[in-house]
Amino acid sequence: MLGFPLKPMKPRVVVVWLVVCLLWSSTFAFIRLGLQELPPFTFAWLRLAIAVGVLAPIAIAGGHWRSLSAGDVAAVCGTGVLLLGVNYGLVFWGAQFVPSGLVAILLSGTPVLALGFGWFLGSEGVNARKLVALALGILGVVVIFGAEAGTSGQAALLGGVAVFGASVCVAFAYVWLKTHGHHLSPTAVTALQSLAGLLPLAGLGLVLEGAPTFARWSATAWVALLYLALIASVLAFWLNYWLLQRMDASAMLMMGVAEVPIAVALGAVLFGERLPTGTLLGGTCVLVGVVAGLTGGPVAPRGHAKRLFSE
């Protein structure tokens, strides 16, 4: 359950937390960097393909797939399509038109959206503080889109809507799988979700953008792709689970808040991005809502929810 006080963390845990936070926050800049040359859906499905190529052999060799029933496979694949297929497609497409810092802000509201979905599905209890958090998150998104509509073109507004849609998919997928899931191996879940997301995304990319033209790619494009696939996906995934064994979940989730200023700063330094005042104000509302939701203390859920991952 979420809530303070947090357990004291050893120095090496703090260092790893900071490293993972930097890795996740840097993904937005590398997406923007790769999109300067690569088509969005091709870029997204190749990232997943490389991750699957690394994770699948590990899951098979470790026998993690044996814990999955037919119902588990259906649930994991369904959420994988949302979590990695639809989500990546929307984020990579939308990031063509909006600053990387704004992408980070819109995705940071995922925990607030998860509050609403969790309450609806019976896996999350909601108290007055969490209702305020949800209201702040909604207000922040409204302010952001109002500011973007007044200062940006239609393409940028549609890009922002796409990224926000991705955060909705992520929130629903996590909450739905937590509500209906069993004690599944994180390795098996991630490998299978990556494969489930890869198939429709690759089909879409091949139909709309054609086969990848690897020979024409620059070193910058390869660096962006390999960084996102190997460092931001595989390595950050393993470090995340290393941290979850050694610190409170609430402290882990705070990473999403810490990522935003780093991502905004990287966007400003690398791409000269400057977000409108209204967008920054709306982003502040979203971040305050996330903090309020994560520190609101434990609340009994309306219904019984099974845990996704074994202890």
pTM attached to this predicted model: 0.78
**Dihedral pair phi/psi, residue 89, rounded to 5°:** -60, -45
pLDDT in tens, 111-157: 777 777 777 766 666 667 767 776 777 777 777 777 766 666 778 88
Cis check for the bond before 5: say yes or no (omega within 30 of 0): yes
Residue-wise pLDDT for 257-299, tens only, equals 777 787 888 888 888 877 778 778 877 887 777 777 656 555 5
Instruction: Check residue 90 and give its pLDDT.
Output: 94
pLDDT for 170-215, tens place per residue?
888 877 766 655 456 667 777 888 899 999 999 999 999 999 988 8
Domain-wise residue ranges, the chain = 11-294
pLDDT band, very low/low/confident/very high, at 301 (cuts 50, 70, 90): low
First to last CA, the chain: 13
Query: Does pLDDT of 91 surpass 90?
Result: yes
pLDDT, position 241: 65
Least confident range from 8-12, 89-93, 109-113: namely 8-12
Q: What is the pLDDT of residue 291?
A: 72
Nearest CA to 126 among 306, 309, 307, 303? 303
**Mean pLDDT, residues 25-29 taken together:** 89
Quickly state the pLDDT bin for 92 (edges 50, 70, 90).
very high
